[in-house]
Structure 1
Amino acid sequence: MQIETICSQAGNRKDPSTGAISIPIHHSTTYGHPGFGQSTGFDYTRSLNPTRLALEDTLASLHNGIRGFAFSSGMAAIDAVTRLFRPGDHVLLSDDLYGGTYRLFEQLLRPVGVDATYVDTSNLSAVESNVRPTTVALFVETPSNPTLKVTNIQACAHLARAKNLLLIVDNTFMTPYHQRPLDLGADIVVESATKYLCGHNDVLAGTLVVRDAALADKLYFIQNSVGAVLGPQDAWLLLRGIKTLHLRMERHEENARKLASWLVQHPLVSRVYYPGLQEHPGRSIHEQQSRGYGGMISFEVHSADWIAPFLEHLRVITFAESLGGVESLITYPARQTHCDIPEDMRNRCGVTDRLLRLSVGIESADDLMTDIHAALTSARQEVTVG
């Protein structure tokens, strides 16, 4: 089936006893056994829950994977992946990536002996030159967070197979609607389902999908043993969000393309990052592996002094953490999502004190442009007068 159909049918035909179109929310933590040595397939909700299973089956279908896993947050999903590593292992990661992933590797994994190197994964030669005998995995964000750098997933998959590495792709910005990393050779795809998969800023969740049965068994053991599973209420909300994923992603992208083209021409904006722009260096590769450009834009203003008044003057766009909801949100990465990354590393990657990250919602694009223009103009005037 086409992905639009998979999305729309999420959770349907999962309750044959009643024929419910919307999968019931199974809050029960434990399940009765029909008899000694017998099971309905559900024994304890940490191990398996009917509502979560409907979601996990949907996730696997969306990504053409063999099995999906739903966790209590995006970071819980990434943490589950890192439990595949052992002291002495080395992991290569995109140098421009979410600050929470950096914090996990630096503050929790490095002290217990898992080494990490951050490299420009859009440069395959740089990736290959940093592979060590102890390297076990390559962790890629594409497009990256927040400068939307594009990595060639298929080329990285070829390298990973040649070097016997796991290829893990964070696909949060694209979702399976726009990009399916498993089809391009990745072993694991991870997404913060809090973002576009949910789409309504009301669920905290993370997901993994894999294409190998043996790897799926390992990750299920980790999920069940650690227990950072998604609860049934949130699993149901996430299924409901997925039903409109394809429609929302089309509108997010439509608005983002308009805003990116407009921002490039704006006199108070010095730089725009968006893979749909002709001048984006990774556009051709992105088009080979994705069906769209997504709804995320980052842009720089001329002065860091404008940031605070600009954010205060916004009336439609909300200054807030997170992304991917129907409401437009703007974030200041240097002080928020990437504050744990050292300043020199941030600056090398383009995460300067003049950079803003915009999650474009599904409002009127004209209203969003009016809001940004008015806030930028007011910010410049305040700083100039002051």
Structure 2
Amino acid sequence: MKPFQYLRPTGVDAAVRDLTAQPDAAKFIAGGTNLIDLMKEHVEQPTTLVDINRLPLATVEELEDGGLRLGALVTNADTAYHPLVEQRYPLLSKAILAGASAQLRNMATNGGNLFQRTRCYYFYDTSMPCNKRHSGPSQGPAGCGALHGYNRIHAILGTESADGNVHCIATHPSDMCVALAALEAVVRVSGPQGERTIPIADFHRLPGDTPQHDNTLRPGELVTAIDLPANGFSHYNSYLKLRDRASYAFALVSVAAALELERSDASGDQISAARLAMGGVAHKPWRKTEAEALLVGQRPTPDVFGRAADALLDGAQGYGHNTFKIELAKRAIVRALSQAAKLEPTE
């Protein structure tokens, strides 16, 4: 790890100024559960760390519209076990508790979770080619080592750029963000131009021809909170995470499923609203409203769920070792929706 300057501002405006003064050399740090690892491996080499733990961003607040505001510095553990989250947004609680370990959840923050970087083997090894990491000779050669290498954990969706080339097949590792995508959360940020909000669907980005950019933040911006809408799909929801071992492992495929069901005397339950998001399959949490629309007005059956799975995975492409993910993902979607509709047990 290289030497760095360490700053501890006590206000949001001061933190933004500290970062803006060195836009290419400074990084915000809160829990540090990902950034410190990246610094140890020389993937990230900031010359200044701006510690934001003293900022007043560690509260959970109810909103006037019935939603909930999660401060960026609230830990993942405190969020998952917060009574209002457990009661009104159980999908989010389940997703957070499916990630990492108890020790890491006690350190990791909500804001930091949004910025997790891929766990691609080639990204972490600076001797290997990686377009996501590449910014000069010190960061290793350009190219995507995973594309023709060992790519079992890599993406099957959203990998092609506008010109049809593939520059990166890394996946976003967060469990929390998959649930946020299904819930249609909104990210609040503060920067040199003031405050703004970003729908979670627009926060992360696909690799295209600039895979080094994970999100749509502008230079100097700081995430201050995450807003959850009033509807948390608290009755019918499921977070299914398929991984190589039962704990402390990133998802091969994960599914956040949320439904609203209405009773019809003539035909039984019907789906009146649906949300589906996937992790482990793309550079960002993957969601397609077209797939969700296929569920609305239908009875909750495996056949209906299967059609939604086919739509959500339309265009999926394997790259050798990860081709199995396509069928795995389809089955996972059907299972998660069946669990959400309480057709199957969640254990």
| TM-score, normalised relative to structure 1 | 0.26
Q: Higher helix fraction: Structure 1 or Structure 2?
A: 1
- After TM superposition, the score normalised by the length of structure 2 is 0.28
The structure whose Rg is larger is 1
